Structure 1
Amino acid sequence: MKSMTTRRQHLKVLRSASLAEATQRAYASDIRHYCMHQGRLPATPTQVALYIAQWSPVHAFATLTRRMAALDRWHRSRGVASPVKSMIVQQAMRGMRRIYGGPQRQVRAITAKDLSQLVKAARQPSTFGKNDNQAGSATRTLRDAALLLLGFSAALRRSELVALQISDLKVDQQGMTVHIRRSKTDPYGRGQSIQIPWGKRVALCPIHAVQAWIDHVGLSSGPIFRAVGRYGNVGTAGLSSQSVALIVKRLAVQAWGEKAATEFSGHSLRAGFCTDAAQRGMSIFAIRQVTRHRSVESLGRYIRDAI
């Protein structure tokens, strides 16, 4: 029989695991922001409403909505009445939505044509920095090309892309099976698989690109996508989700310039697959087989003026 202390510790682990790590980090950041600009916790309804009034002209409605969720969870998890449910806070949020809501900003999709240009930029040794030596540049070009092509062809979220392990890939004559252990639509880790066919052009084939990267650095286990140092040394830990966005931004600057690059993010790869597939006449059912969207409505938000 476990001791009371051990059971309490395990309960703490279970409660922590009820939220995805990314959500936990976001909520922790939201609580810090509130404390820095408004004061103590627990909070009163008036304090929270004044916080909304202060930041509504600055931050997006979605950002403050998430911060309200973080505050609500903080209070409820401690057995304290949540000020977020009060009338004054709800009225402040509804007023913000009417005045500042507007449509949520959508990043530009990276279509197949865009992808070709980005991969070309990735394979230019000068895309990272003057301090790179030849080995560092050569290694990074292989990683970046593989990351772009796999992220696009499997319509992967950034978190899914960086979480992939060598053991999650199986290659045969039909193509590559990508096993996704956990995702936004599979929070309990039942597992989902995507089948990627061999590309018609070797230069843009995600399977060839991934194999070239893995073979070059001699990976046999662990994360697929890792940091590359200036001398070509490869780290042991996987990249962060933010790293994907930074890689896409860097290559977009190389391909199209700084102004155009502001329209892209790591999310552009997934939106790009959806948009490109719709433009090619791929059925909604077939697209959802790859993207794993729960509904047609949620998928529709990823398709940029394609149909």
Structure 2
Amino acid sequence: MPAIDRYLEAATRENTRRSYQSAIRHFEIDWGGFLPASADAIARYLADHAESLSVNTLRSRLAALAQWHQTQGFPDPTKTPHVRKVLKGIAALHPASEKRAKPLQLAQLERLTAWLDEQIADAMAMGNARTHITHVRNKALVLLGFWRGFRSDELSRLRIEHITIEPGRGMTLFLPRTKGDRAQLGTTFRAPALSRLCPVAAYEAWIAASGLTEGPVFRSIDRWGHISDEVLRAGSFVPLLRALFRTAGVPAPDSYSSHSLRRGFANWANSNQWDLKMLMEYVGWKDVRSAMRYIDAADPFAQHRIESALTAAPTPVSQQLAVAAPAKPSP
């Protein structure tokens, strides 16, 4: 690959690149469109998929098409008033509530970790190397993902040489690229050493069991227990987590995704009186709106607040009448 192409490829996150490539294939191959496209063709593409794709998905497809036209030096048809108006009409006629991953509660994390510990102990006793090393990895992945509020793509990009352990205190993790790092300066995260459910101890156990000294932290493991040189892809995290939740007996396992770890931590921190500024700094959110999307209200139906008011001692009727009665004019 020529040097300039390598640098151009590095300028776009891998997940974004794959998403854009998929969108272009859908437009050209599945729908039969031609590139470069006209504004009318883009509008027809949106209209044809208005009922089958969400508005957010259509916006993502438009972003991919816009990027293709811009990089190829063609006028961007997605920015025309005609296309924008069609998208606005689709949003009006096909409203849909945003789907969010179910947050993993601390009690469920404890249940899952206890189950993993049992599997690890049983595998050691039976000499089952594959099951042992797989669940040691899974425990590190779940605990680090929860306590650091990492996305699946962040977990997949962790590298051993960018992680430092400070015994008794915690670990420092450096990611050269993160979603909010527009300047490409890299981001440093810290995870604490805990008395239980410890992400640092789980990570150290995985490194010791795997014998890894450099490269990706989380990798795939084949049926014979061989650890791959390749990273565990971000797209593998959702089926992996759901399979773990299902086997461990966590209710409704298919309602969880990799974002469940991030949302679970955010809700745990919020319920334990972390202020929003502290939470944003810890997780790495730059925008308040992004942070609030991950936090559920402690009393979403306002039931507790209203019931508290209803059960308060009512004002005596005589006092209510006295307040309501008009004052008599002085003689």
Whether these two folds match at TM > 0.5 is yes
Asked whether 1:189 is paired with 2:184, we answer yes
Residue type of the partner of 2:220?
A
CA distance in 2, matches of 1:232, 1:96: 49
Q: Is the 8 A contact 1:109 1:264 kept in 2?
A: yes
Aligned pairs for 1:146-161 (under 5 A) are 146-161=140-155
From 271, 284, 302, the equivalent of 1:279 is 271
Residue number in structure 1 paired with 2:199 = 206
1:295 partnered with 2:290 = no
Kept after mapping to 2: 8 A contact 1:124/1:141: no
Structure 2 regions of 5+ residues with no counterpart? 121-126, 300-331
Determine if contact 2:42/2:77 at 8 Å carries over to the other structure. yes
Task: Identify the residue that residue 24 of structure 1 maps to in structure 2.
Answer: 17
Is 2:171 aligned against 1:179?
no
Question: What's the secondary structure of 2:252's corresponding residue?
Answer: helix
Deviations 1:22-78 (A, max 9, x none): 211111110000112132212222221111111111111111101011111212222
Quick check: which has more Rg, 1 or 2?
A: 2
Q: State the TM-score, normalizing by the size of structure 1.
A: 0.88
Matched residue, 2:214:
221
Q: Percent identity?
A: 30
SS in 1 for 2:68: helix
Q: Could you say what secondary structure the match of 2:172 adopts?
A: strand
Return the offset for 1:98: 1.1
The aligned amino acid for 1:139 is I
Provide the C-alpha distance between the structure 1 equivalents of 2:221 and 2:6, rounded to a whole number of angstroms: 33
Aligned twin of 2:321 = none
Q: Partners in 2 of 1:140 and 1:296 — Cα distance?
A: 37
Match of 2:241 in 1: 248
**Alignment partner of 1:114 out of 94, 108, 114:** 108
Q: Distance in 2 between matches of 1:218 and 1:182?
A: 26
Mark the runs of 5 or more structure 1 residues left unpaired by the alignment. 1-5, 127-132
Specify the alignment match of 1:263 in structure 2.
Answer: 255
Change (3 A) 1:12 1:168: closer
Give the conservation status (yes or no) of the 8 Å contact 1:246–1:266.
Answer: no
Relative CO higher for 1 or 2, CA cutoff 8 Å, sep ≥ 6? 1
Is 1:89 the counterpart of 2:83? The answer is: yes
In the other structure, the counterpart of 2:328 is none
1:262 match: secondary structure:
helix
- Cα pair 2:36 2:69 within 8 Å, conserved: yes
Q: Which amino acid aligns with 2:285?
A: H
Cα drift, residue 155 of structure 1: 0.9
The answer on whether the counterparts of 2:43 and 2:83 sit within 8 Å (CA) in structure 1 is yes
